[in-house]
Chain A
Amino acid sequence: MIRAVVLAALLLAVLPLSPAHAVNPDEMLADPALEHRARVISRDLRCLVCQNQSIDDSDAGLAKDLRVLVRERLKAGDSNEQVIDYVVARYGDFVLLKPPVKGSTLVLWIGPAVVALFGILALTLFYRRRRAASPVAAKPLSPEERARLNKLLEGDAP
Chain B
Amino acid sequence: MKSRLLYLLPLGLFLVLALYFAVGLTKDPKIIPSALIDKPAPEFTLPPVAGGKTPGFATADLKKGRVSVVNVFASWCVPCRAEHPEINKLAKMGIVPVYGLNYKDTPQAARAWLDKLGDNYTATGADESGRVGIDWGVYGVPETFIVDGTGRIRFKHVGPIVGDKLEKEILPLIRSIQETGK
Whether a CB of chain B sits under 8 angstroms from the CB of A109 is no
Comparing A12-20, A31-39, A87-95, A144-152, the segment that makes contact with chain B is A87-95
Comparing A2-10, A62-70, A75-83, A133-141, the segment that makes contact with chain B is A62-70
B139 touches A91 (CB 8 A): yes
B34 touches A92 (CB 8 A): yes
* B residues less than 8 Å from A93 (CB atoms): 35
Number of interface residues of B (CB under 8 A): 18
* B residues less than 8 Å from A69 (CB atoms): 131, 134
A89 to B32, CA, bound (A): 14
A92: which of B30, B35, B129, B135 is its contact (CB, 8 Å)? B35
Give the secondary structure class of A's interface: helix
A90 touches B104 (CB 8 A): no
Number of interface residues of A (CB under 8 A): 15
Query: How far does the Cβ of B20 sit from chain A's closest Cβ, in whole Å?
Result: 12
A94 to B31, CA, bound (A): 11
A90 touches B140 (CB 8 A): no
* A residues less than 8 Å from B135 (CB atoms): 90
A104 to B89, CA, bound (A): 40
B35 touches A89 (CB 8 A): yes
B32 touches A90 (CB 8 A): no
* B residues less than 8 Å from A120 (CB atoms): none
Whether a CB of chain A sits under 8 angstroms from the CB of B29 is yes
A88 touches B35 (CB 8 A): yes
A66 to B33, CA, bound (A): 19
**Nearest CB in chain A to that of B137: its residue:** A90
Q: Which of A48, A49, A61 has the most CB of B within 10 A?
A: A48
* B residues less than 8 Å from A124 (CB atoms): none
Interface mask (B28-57 → A, CB under 8 Å = 1, otherwise 0): 011011111000001000000000000000
B139 touches A49 (CB 8 A): yes
* B residues less than 8 Å from A49 (CB atoms): 139-140
> Which chain B residues have a beta carbon within 8 Å of chain A's beta carbons?
29-30, 32-36, 42, 104, 129-131, 134-137, 139-140
